[in-house]
Amino acid sequence: QVQLVESGGGLVQAGGSLRLSCAASGSIFSINAMGWYRQAPGKQRELVATMDNIGSTNYPDSVKGRFTISRDNAKNTVDLQMNSLKPEDTAVYYCYAAIRPIYYSGIRDYWGQGTQVTVSS
């Protein structure tokens, strides 16, 4: 009964900015980490940004310095501020959360449905 819903995708010109948002809801006992992954056509899904419960972040070199992840632990939300966007950033962006459900004693991975980000030149 856990659901992740993304919003905020769209079309922007190179050099522009977008802010993605994701909200987790349902039978959640706790959330250990939240983040964002992306997948371009013909490519594997790749890490964009993650944050654990004490604020530690992880970014690949491709987005470091341009993207910023933030979380509101009380509201079970995570945002991704994307600045200085490049055409190479074009992909479907997926919200991710490592969640312990109320009905399960372990941690499970959950994914949103994805939101399209397109950067034109």
Residue-level pLDDT at 1: 87
Residue 101: HSE in the Cβ half-sphere, 13 Å Cα cutoff: 11
Average pLDDT over residues 9-37: 97
Give pLDDT tens digits for 35-88.
Answer: 999 999 999 999 999 999 999 999 999 999 999 999 999 999 999 999 999 999
